[in-house]
Structure formats: structure tokens, C-alpha cells
Structure 1
Amino acid sequence: MRYLKFYKPYGVLTQFTDSLLGSPEDAQSGRLTLKAFIAVPKVYPVGRLDRDSEGLLLLTDDGILNARLINPKFGHERTYWVQVEGIPTPQALEQLRQGVMIQGRKTRPAQARILSTEPDLPPRDPPIRFRRAIPTTWLELTLREGRNRQVRRMTAAVGIPTLRLVRVELGPLSLQGLTPGEWQDLSETELAQLRHYCS
């Protein structure tokens, strides 16, 4: 069995082939896939990260572990650093914590806090749009579900649109030690922690 963690860069599809084109990537389309970074056969991503999101992705050929991690009934934690437009009010943060209505359903309660300093992340390529007149804030959000574009929909629902989104933790695993486009096999300690977490 193989277990890899990967720092997905902005603009990369969370799949090995571009289903729109029927090929791994097309230089003219600019749609990069995981195949451009990971040459390990028969591993598949656990869950997804949108093309315009960055950060930690777990890949494995362990179908049982994959199924357990993505099954919403187990409520596995995913932690994100989120740069939002504006300054969240206490009410907006409380809404995120209690759950907000998106696509006709309320999200599960989340952990939400303002980061006291901007996180030490590599610059995004391309950079986010900068507007001098509108401040931005970095939040840390921990969710126990993984609905489509959930973080972006949640922050938009409380009036603070997401500008940049980076997943930094998945259960016990963290992004630490990786730079965008890098991957590594899980260490024995990480794998033991992951198995314990999923048990």
C-alpha cells in the first residue's frame, strides 16, 4: 500500500486526467493535473480540492481507508487557512461556528477563528487581486464535512468572500515540510497516526 501527501498548487485539477480534454494536460489549456507532479501508479486522491484551492491532499491505493475518510458519517476534520475580503464581525464568525445555509442545507458546526498574523505561506501564482481600499483577513476554519466548494460558499453566505484557500490539515496530517508541487510518502509515525485516527 502507498500513502502520499501532496501540496497541491493553485490551478491544478485533483485528478490524473483532464476529463474535459481526455488527456493528462493540454499545454494550450493550461489545465494541469496530478500527473504533472506524481508519477506513482494506482494511487488516488482522498476527496478533492478545487482547482482554485491549494494545500494538503492525501493519495493512496488503500480503498478501505479512502472510503472511511470521505464518508461524511465519520466527520473527519479538515483545517483551512482562508484569506477573506473584509473584516469578519463577531456575528459572522458565530454563524460559521453554528452552521450556515448553503444550497438549501445547513452546514455542520465548524471551528472558526481569526489568525492573529498572516500565515507563512508561499506566494500564490497568480497572486490574488489586491484592492487597497478593502482590507483582508486570514481565518482558520475546521470543518467536519466536505461539500462542494463549501468554504467558499460559507464565507460568501456571511458576507466575507474567500480570496485564497489553503488546506493545511487533514485529520492528523499536516502540510508542514512541503512546498507547492512537492509530495512525499507518509512517515511511519504519520501512517500510524492516520490509522489510529480512522479506527
Structure 2
Amino acid sequence: MSRVILFNKPYDVLSQFTDKGTQGSKARTLSEFIDVPGVYAAGRLDRDSEGLLVLTDDGKLQNRISSPKFKLPKTYWAQVEGEISDDALEALRKGVELKDGMTAPAMVKRMDEPAGLWPRTPPVRFRKSVPDCWISLTITEGRNRQVRRMTAAVGHPTLRLIRYRVGKWSLDGIETGEWKEA
């Protein structure tokens, strides 16, 4: 029986168990939060992103989750700069041109700030003169920093990015820095 762990990764934590960097100061890693031998992250979540990280001890499952060829949907909540226009939403729905080519169409909609959202440390910078808003964006690819690049391409840089869902698993009921077995 394979193990599946759902972890709500905090901001500024690497999606790996050790810090092999050479930056001098040690980065926070999964080992600070998860003491379960033999599980590994199925896919990555950037250091400056938060939210759902799926870990498993099953190599085939890990591949099905992380490989783009399986097109597993991943839903993100993005706080973006500015009030996103209908045109920008439509562009995301059709796919946008990035330096590494066109993205597949995304499912996207405006949303209210997620209820019960934990504070981020450090907080997102606030500017009185520049509004922001939240969107829910579902993609089936997994390019490097794809959501951030997509929102920037339509004129709305991402300020905060939270992965809410991976396939059938979601963040529901998992506090930041906590995990549970699926």
C-alpha cells in the first residue's frame, strides 16, 4: 500500500528534504516539517510559492502526478497586481505566448480572497495606489514558474501564489506547515 502525504508548504520552504545550495545560509526544507521516511515530493513548488505539495513513496504515482504527459490538473489561487480584466482572463483561457512557447488553455476565474487564508511571512507588499485581486487558475502543464509567467504575460504580475489542488487532492483542512495522510 503506497503512502500519500498532503503538505501545506509555507512560503520560503524548499520542496526537498535537504538544502544542497551553496548560498551560505541554510534554506528551510521539508525535513523541518515531515518526519516520514521514504516519501518524496511528486513535483515541485517554488520556494516563493505556498500550498499543496503531494509526497509519496510510490515511484509510479509520483511520475503520474509530476509528469506533464499525464496532464493532471493543478489549481492555483493567485493574488495578482491590478484588477484583472475580462480580456486578460480570456487570454489565459486561450493560452498565452511565453518565451518557451504557447501555454495550453487554462481554466480561470476571478475569486474573492480565500476564506480563512493564513498570513504570509513576510507579507505581500501593499501599495495604496495599485489594487490587487485574486484569481483561480487551473493548468494541466507544469512549466517552470508557469502561473507567474502567464499572469505577467497578460499584465498582472503574481504577488502571492498558493497551489490549492493537485488532481483529486486539495488543501482543505490542512493548516500551513501541517500535513496529513491522504
TM-score (norm 1): 0.87
The letter for the 2-side match of 1:19 is K
Structure 1: distance between partners of 2:43 and 2:57: 13
Moved over 3 A (4+): none
Q: Is the 8 A contact 2:98 2:150 kept in 1?
A: yes
Q: Identity percentage over the alignment?
A: 56
Q: Pick the aligned partner of 1:156 from 152, 158, 182.
A: 152
SS of 2:54's equivalent? strand
Q: Which runs of 5+ in 1 are unaligned?
A: 187-199
The letter for the 2-side match of 1:182 is E
* Structure 1 range deviating more: 79-88 or 101-110: 101-110
Structure 2: distance between partners of 1:43 and 1:149: 24
**Residue 30 (structure 1) shift:** 5.3
For 1:46-95, what per-residue CA distance to the aligned partner results, in whole angstroms no more than 9, with x for missing partners?
A: 10000000000100010011111222122110001100000111111111
The letter for the 2-side match of 1:6 is F
- Match in the other structure for 2:161: 165
Structure 1: distance between partners of 2:35 and 2:47: 20
Q: Which runs of 5+ in 2 are unaligned?
A: none
Structure 2: distance between partners of 1:29 and 1:19: 11
- Match in the other structure for 1:12: 13
Structure 1: distance between partners of 2:69 and 2:47: 26
Tell me whether 1:119 sits opposite 2:75 in the alignment. Answer: no
Structure 2: distance between partners of 1:53 and 1:104: 21
TM-score (norm 2): 0.95
Equivalent residue runs for 1:56-135 within 5 Å:
56-115=52-111, 117-120=112-115, 121-135=117-131
The letter for the 2-side match of 1:18 is D
How many residues are paired up? 180
Structure 1: distance between partners of 2:129 and 2:7: 35
- Match in the other structure for 1:139: 135
**Residue 42 (structure 1) shift:** 1.3
Structure 2: distance between partners of 1:75 and 1:48: 15
For 1:129-153, what per-residue CA distance to the aligned partner results, in whole angstroms no more than 9, with x for missing partners?
A: 0000100010000000111000000
Q: What's the RMSD between the two structures over aligned residues?
A: 1.3
Structure 2: distance between partners of 1:35 and 1:57: 14
